[in-house]
Structure formats: C-alpha cells, structure tokens
C-alpha cells in the first residue's frame, strides 16, 4: 500500500453490507444442524438440498435474533415483512434462487431506517442503517487442485440454508478508518446482544463495501464493491487501496468501472472479479412458499425489554461514572471484550482514568500495529493493574512500564516478575542517586557553573545525564530535588 493519501479534491463515500451468521442451532428454513466442522453433506435434508416439492418453514429463533438487531439499531420494525426469491444460477445454490428479503415498500424487510453512532472519532457521527434483513446461506464449493489446476469441484451443502442476517448501511462513511471503526462498533453491539460471535476470520461476520469518490457536494460517483476482507484491519487497508486506485483513474480522466473487486490480503491490492449485476437481473419476487413474518407490538416490546446494556449506553455510563473523555469512553467500549477488560482492570485498580489512558494509548497502539484484538493478547486485567501500581509506588518509571508492556501483551508475563528478572526497579535510594549526581557534576563542570550563573536549562541537561547514566531507572523527582540541593549548596 502506498503512503500517499487521497487528495482533498475527492471525498470517499463508503457503504457497508455486513453478513452475520446468526447464533442458532438449526437452519433458516429446516431443522438441520448448523454446527461448524461436521463431515460434508451430513447436515442436509430435502429443504436445504433444494429438492422439488420440499417446503421451507421459518426458524423463529432466527427471526428473533434479527429482531434484536433491528431494535438495538433503532430501526423501524415492520409489522409484516416478506421473504423474496433472488434468482441466479450457481452450483452452490441448488434451487437456483436464494430466499432473502428485498427493499420493497409493500413487502418490507424486517427492519429499516436505523442508525448507529460512531464516536471513537474526532466528532460523533450517525451512520444510517438502511435495512436489516434475513436470508439463507449457500452451499460451499471445494475445489480439488493438482499443480495449480482444478481437477474437479465438490459441493458441501452443510452450509446451505444456514441463517444469515444482512445489515446494510447508508453510504454515510467518509474514510476507510471510519469504516473500520463502524464495523468494530457494530460487531461489539452484535456480541453484546447475543446475535453473533463476531469472529471475522472464521467467516461468522463478513463485510462487503461499496466505495466511490466524488467532488464534495457532487452526485455519487460510480462505485465498486469490495469483497473478501477478513479482519477489521483488512477492511481499512482494502478501502484505502481502492480509494486510491479510483483517484488515480479519475485523475487520468479514465472512468471507474462498476464491478466487484476482491481484496488480496497478501499482495495488498484489489482485483476485478466480475461485472456487477443490476438488481433487476435477479428478478426478485415474493416467496410464494412462505407466509409473511408477523411481528406484533408485544414481541417487539419483549425484545426491547430483554436487551442488555448496549455499547452506546455503556459508553455514556463510562463517561459519567468514570469521568472519561468522549474519546476514551468510545475507545474502551469499541469492542465488548475491551469493555469487559476495562471494567475488570478497574476492579483491581480503581483509577479508571489511568486505566483508560493506557488502553487508549500504548495498548491500542500495540493492537493496531499487530492487527490484534485485546482478547487475542496474553495480557490480563490483573497484570495491567499490577503494572500501574508499580508506577504509582515509584518502583518503576512510566518509561520502563511502557517498555515492558509489549512483552506482557505478547507473553502474559507479570510486571513484577519482569521487573525483578531484569533489575528494572527504579532507583529511589537517596545515597545511590546522590553518588551518581556527584559524578555527573564532576564530569560536567561547565553546565554546573552555568546553573550557578542563572541558566536553568543547564539543570535539564544534568538531569538527562543522570538518567542516561542510570539507564532511565533513577526516580526523576528525586534526581531533580537532589541535583538542585547539591548545586545550590
């Protein structure tokens, strides 16, 4: 990826389509199991194999999970909503149509017109949710290759008919970074309400993005759809690449083609995979084998009452209860595991502001650089609390704490153990620091007399020399105080 950023002349416009595998035990329209990893074609029946005459029956649990999402996102939930057939031919789709929901006014999807606030950014921004709808997954093609050539392909129908929910945003996102933050926030919400495991690398959360460029205020430009992004970080990287690719085309006066492009994680590029169909090519029409979903007010009220604290509310609670800045509160609630980590750490070390500063600062920097989530590191709340207590007690300097933190994240080592093993404890012993100061003053008579002459910056130089001599381990406050005393005596 090039370092060059998109010029101000263009505005990036991004909309996301997020496919979420719902946490149900059985499939969308039959009783087959959804468990991952079973031998191929062992979880199938006439319905999910698309055999003629087999009739689908809607999974109530899947509708309820869709409903939880729609309510949590503040969507308008429609009293009756309808399934549709999306017609296309592909070997992993034996019926030749996918049962899904489309955006017809008279046959609406489960929920429409919601929003989610993006806060871990410079200013809060509401991202519109166009719709939340339910659909079924397709089967999976397994290609058997030899020397890079496909010999034949096999089809596993275990995944066919697995319940999916699609969340479609309005094109309200204005940078690849915003897209990453939004997806993280949505994932955190879906985890909090028990709808999804949120594991992108396992495919239980998949994100496609529509990207276009325009001059600010102008009509939307031609968009491309980017697929195959398997982590939050790859979403940001892929969109940054794609925005830049489009910018170069437009700068050369060449048109952007409406197409689907795949992200290649290893090469760091998107490549064209097929020309995008128009919606009319799918010939959507209401599914005649299914009655509309009826969602009464009572069901919606029950769902609303059963929702746990949502990330937005959690963020506001942290901001007021722990006196965190909007930025810090947004960051520590940006994923459910991070929020749980924050609260657990505060349980061991009550200075919440300090905990948030470390999580938003050095911990976040490490996670970004490594492309990891907090739960994928070896750091425990207890160990982070211990590290902060060592700083408070003056046993180690903040600098030393910052130095050992990455190792704690990587290996799960305890701060006390690392400090003891490496002799990193801060020197707070007056006699020990005093003798180093005496040597420094003797070695640098010039700056010492400059200080006597009123040049206070000479003190800064001498403090620096003491810190260098002790490899940063001398207690800085003690060094300052002793040095002044000795110079003035």
For Zn ion, the binding residues (CB under 5 A) are 30, 32, 45, 47-48
Closer by beta carbon to Zn ion, 94 or else 476: 94
* Residue count of the chain: 489
SS3 of residue 79 by DSSP:
coil
Please give the Cα distance from 28 to 21 (Å, whole number). Answer: 11
Contact 339, 184 (CB under 8 A): no
Smallest gap from residue 287 Cβ to Zn ion (A): 17
Contact 295, 301 (CB under 8 A): no
Smallest gap from residue 61 Cβ to Zn ion (A): 15
Closer by beta carbon to Zn ion, 32 or else 390: 32
Smallest gap from residue 32 Cβ to Zn ion (A): 3
Smallest gap from residue 100 Cβ to Zn ion (A): 17
Smallest gap from residue 85 Cβ to Zn ion (A): 18
Please list, in sequence order, all residues whose beta carbon lies within 8 angstroms of the beta carbon of residue 309, skipping any fewer than 6 positions away: 192, 317
Closer by beta carbon to Zn ion, 48 or else 356: 48
C-alpha dihedral, 408 to 412 to 417 to 422, nearest 10°: -50
Smallest gap from residue 45 Cβ to Zn ion (A): 3
Please give the Cα distance from 365 to 240 (Å, whole number). Answer: 19
Please give the Cα distance from 66 to 133 (Å, whole number). Answer: 7
Closer by beta carbon to Zn ion, 56 or else 221: 56
Closer by beta carbon to Zn ion, 30 or else 193: 30
Closer by beta carbon to Zn ion, 47 or else 419: 47
How distant is the alpha carbon of residue 293 from its chain centre?
32
Smallest gap from residue 46 Cβ to Zn ion (A): 7
Q: What angle is formed at CA 266 by the lines to CA 263 and CA 267, rounded to 5 degrees?
A: 75
Smallest gap from residue 28 Cβ to Zn ion (A): 9
Helix residue ranges per DSSP H, 288-429: 297-306, 311-321, 326-332, 336-348, 352-358, 364-370, 381-392, 398-411, 415-422
Contact 369, 233 (CB under 8 A): no
Given the structure tokens 């034949």, which residue do they identify? Answer: 152
Smallest gap from residue 36 Cβ to Zn ion (A): 16
Contact 414, 461 (CB under 8 A): no
Closer by beta carbon to Zn ion, 44 or else 244: 44
Smallest gap from residue 23 Cβ to Zn ion (A): 18
SS3 of residue 75 by DSSP:
coil
Closer by beta carbon to Zn ion, 21 or else 345: 21
- The HSE-up count of residue 196 (CA atoms within 13 Å, CB side) is 26
Smallest gap from residue 338 Cβ to Zn ion (A): 38
- The token duo for 459 is 């003190």
Smallest gap from residue 35 Cβ to Zn ion (A): 13
Question: In 111-258, where do the E strands start and end?
Answer: 111-118, 125-136, 140-146, 149-156, 163-169, 205-214, 224-229
- The HSE-up count of residue 315 (CA atoms within 13 Å, CB side) is 24
Closer by beta carbon to Zn ion, 56 or else 447: 56
Q: 84-87 and 80-81: which strand pairing?
A: unpaired
Closer by beta carbon to Zn ion, 27 or else 383: 27
- Among the listed residues 350, 419, 415, the one whose alpha carbon sits nearest the alpha carbon of residue 384: 415
Closer by beta carbon to Zn ion, 45 or else 487: 45
Smallest gap from residue 40 Cβ to Zn ion (A): 14
Closer by beta carbon to Zn ion, 137 or else 373: 137
- The token duo for 58 is 């809607």
Q: What angle is formed at CA 233 by the lines to CA 244 and CA 62, rounded to 5 degrees?
A: 115
Closer by beta carbon to Zn ion, 83 or else 284: 83
Contact 26, 94 (CB under 8 A): no
């Amino acid at each position: 990826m090039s370092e060059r950023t998109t010029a101000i002349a263009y505005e990036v416009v991004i909309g996301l389509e997020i496919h979420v595998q719902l946490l149900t035990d059985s499939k969308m329209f039959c009783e087959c199991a959804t468990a991952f990893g079973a031998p191929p074609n062992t979880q199938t029946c006439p319905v999910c194999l698309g055999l003629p005459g087999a009739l689908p029956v809607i999974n109530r649990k899947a509708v309820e999970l869709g409903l939880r999402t729609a309510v949590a996102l503040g969507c308008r939930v429609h009293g009756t909503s309808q399934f549709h057939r999306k017609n296309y031919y592909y070997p992993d789709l034996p019926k030749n149509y996918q049962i899904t929901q489309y955006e017809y006014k008279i046959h609406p999807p489960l929920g429409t017109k919601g929003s989610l606030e993006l806060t871990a950014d410079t200013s809060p921004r509401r991202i519109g949710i166009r719709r939340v709808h339910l659909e079924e997954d397709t089967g999976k093609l397994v290609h058997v290759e030899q020397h890079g050539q496909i010999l034949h392909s096999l089809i596993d129908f275990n995944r066919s008919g697995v319940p999916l929910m699609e969340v479609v945003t309005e094109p309200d996102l204005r940078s690849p970074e915003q897209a990453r933050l939004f997806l993280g926030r949505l994932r955190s919400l879906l985890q909090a309400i028990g709808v999804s495991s949120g594991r992108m690398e396992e495919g239980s959360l998949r994100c496609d993005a529509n990207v276009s460029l325009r001059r600010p205020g102008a009509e939307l430009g031609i968009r491309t759809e980017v697929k195959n992004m398997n982590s939050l970080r790859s979403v940001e990287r892929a969109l940054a690449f794609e925005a830049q690719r489009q910018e170069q085309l437009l700068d050369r006066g060449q048109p952007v083609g409406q197409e689907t492009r795949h992200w290649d994680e290893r090469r760091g590029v998107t490549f064209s995979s097929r020309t995008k169909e128009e919606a009319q090519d799918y010939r959507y029409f209401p599914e005649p084998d299914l009655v509309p979903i009826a969602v009464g007010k009572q069901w919606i009220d029950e769902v609303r009452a059963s929702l746990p604290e949502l990330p937005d509310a959690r963020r506001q609670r942290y901001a007021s209860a722990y006196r965190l800045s909007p930025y810090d509160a947004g960051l520590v609630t940006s994923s459910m595991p991070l929020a749980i980590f924050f609260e657990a750490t505060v349980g061991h070390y009550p200075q919440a502001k300090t905990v948030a500063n470390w999580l938003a600062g050095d911990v976040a920097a490490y996670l970004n650089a490594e492309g990891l989530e907090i739960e994928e590191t070896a750091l425990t709340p207890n160990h982070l609390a211990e590290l902060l207590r060592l700083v408070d007690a003056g046993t180690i300097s903040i600098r030393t704490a910052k130095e050992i933190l990455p190792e704690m994240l990587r290996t799960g080592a305890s701060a006390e153990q690392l400090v003891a093993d490496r002799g990193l404890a801060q020197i707070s012993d007056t006699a020990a620091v005093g003798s180093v100061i005496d040597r420094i003053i003797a070695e640098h008579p010039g700056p010492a007399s400059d200080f006597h002459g009123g040049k206070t910056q000479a003190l800064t130089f001498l403090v620096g020399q003491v810190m260098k001599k002790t490899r940063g381990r001398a207690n800085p406050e003690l060094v300052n105080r002793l040095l002044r005393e000795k110079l003035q005596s």
